[in-house]
Amino acid sequence: MNYEGTIYRPPSEGKSLILQVTLGCSHNKCTFCSMYKDKSFKIKTYSTIESDLKEARGKYSEVKRIFLADGDAFILKTEFILSILFKIKELFPECERVAAYATPKAINLKNAEEIEELYSNGLKMLYMGIESGSDTVLKSVNKGSNASEIIEAGMKIMATDMKLSVTLISGLGGKKLWREHAIESAKVISSINPDYLSLLTLIVDNDTEMARKIKNNKFIVLSPAEVLLETYELITNLKVSNCIFRSNHASNYVPLKGTLNDDQKELLAEIKKYIENKNLIDRNQLRSL
């Protein structure tokens, strides 16, 4: 396989065949992110992608899932994605699901008919990083989309049969904007009502613009207890249905999971238990990263 640079994928794609169809992220300007700083965005040639698929077919007797990397494969033109999906269907008839990362901008560049065509040819799921629902926070981290654009993108996918998994980042507003970050994020998520919601916790790499802001006291990182208060505020304000919620990533201080809003009371009770007993939080401070 012709992998270039570091490869990233969602935790749920751990058993998937990773097919790199682009290099890097089409935006790649978020102040908190260092994932694709080692490469410039580039679209791989179809011949290279086809070669990788043929090589994988020779290595693996069965491939049920394929993930299209890197950071924003959905930015590719619909016709190009379809050509990849056709080749996947030809070489891996047993494949049940193809998935990809997608920025709000990439989704909004496609119409409903294009999305449905991609779905019907195997692209069953998209992962969209929302990060925050606050326009103030989104602008401060240079996300490249505002809340209304994110809602538009999310609702566009949810209007189809394609599954949508979205992520938020706890602590992204810092001490100054933690409550706004929680409440406005809840509004965006409630408007979209995605199939899956994942909550990560901010971890700042030293080689990022946000790290420099922290060093210059222009951004104050939340403590573990403050992260939990923010999470409590977020879940309190969510109004969704049949949304599978996960906050059990290696970055998180406390593992949480459930279905919202069915398990809202139980999740809030669990968070409150940790907030009221700092010793429990202390034992979870050494995260798995």
pTM metric for this prediction: 0.94
The domain ranges of the chain are 11-283
Indicate the CATH number of 11-283 among 3.10.20.340, 2.60.260.20, 3.80.30.20, 3.40.449.10: 3.80.30.20
Average pLDDT of the chain to the nearest whole number: 94
Question: CA separation (Å) from 148 to 130, 169, 185?
Answer: 11, 18, 12
Strands (E), 35-122: 42-43, 65-69, 97-101
Task: Answer left, alpha or beta for residue 204, where phi above 0 means left and psi between -120 and 50 means alpha.
Answer: beta
* pLDDT, tens only, 202-260: 999 998 999 999 999 999 999 999 999 999 999 999 999 999 999 988 899 999 999 99
Q: Residue with structure tokens 């020779």?
A: 58
Residues 6+ apart with CB under 8 A from 79: none
Distance between CA atoms of residues 100 and 34, nearest Å: 19
Instruction: Give the residue, 185 or 249, on which the prediction is more confident.
Output: 185
φ, ψ for residue 130 (rounded to 5)?
-85, -45
Contact 200, 227 (CB under 8 A): no
* pLDDT, tens only, 93-102: 999 999 999 9
